[in-house]
Amino acid sequence: MRLAPMTILLLAAFSTAAMPKSDRSDLAKQLAGRTAGPPQDCVSMDTTANLRPVNEQTLIVERGPILYVNHLRGGCPGLEATDTIILQANGNQYCRGDHFRTRPFGGGVVPGPICVLGDFTPYRRTR
């Protein structure tokens, strides 16, 4: 586990307009025409590349032409495609083992369970 002097709380909002709900919930459709690379421990944070829920087991991060798929450690009960992710990150990367919680779209006072990121598998478009 990585340690840092200060834990940064990052509210990772995502754009529901960027991808229709039916596409967000269909991982196979999103990965069509892409080839998986070797899993990575971390992915750099970017203001335009936020973690986006797909289902209770999976998050994605889109960085340019690469789509990173993160299969959560142990899943995240109740996680829905429209939830907002509240991530505790160390530094400027999303990394395996980082913890996050969720909030339902439109608010909600009580955050969801603590969930844990897994490895990031990059998927690149094939030609």
pLDDT tens readout for residues 56-105: 999 999 888 899 999 999 889 988 888 888 887 778 889 999 999 988 87
**pLDDT tens-place string over residues 34-68:** 999 999 999 988 777 778 899 899 999 988 889 99
More confidently predicted of 101 and 23: 101
Residue 25 has pLDDT above 70, yes or no: no
Residue 26 has pLDDT above 80, yes or no: no
DSSP character string of the chain = ----SSPEEEEE---SSSS-HHHHT-HHHHHTTEEE---BSEEE-BTTB--EEEETTEEEEEETTEEEEEE-BT--TT--TTPEEEEEESSSEEETT-EEEEE-TT--SS----EE---EEEEEE--
pLDDT at 90: 73
pLDDT at 115: 93
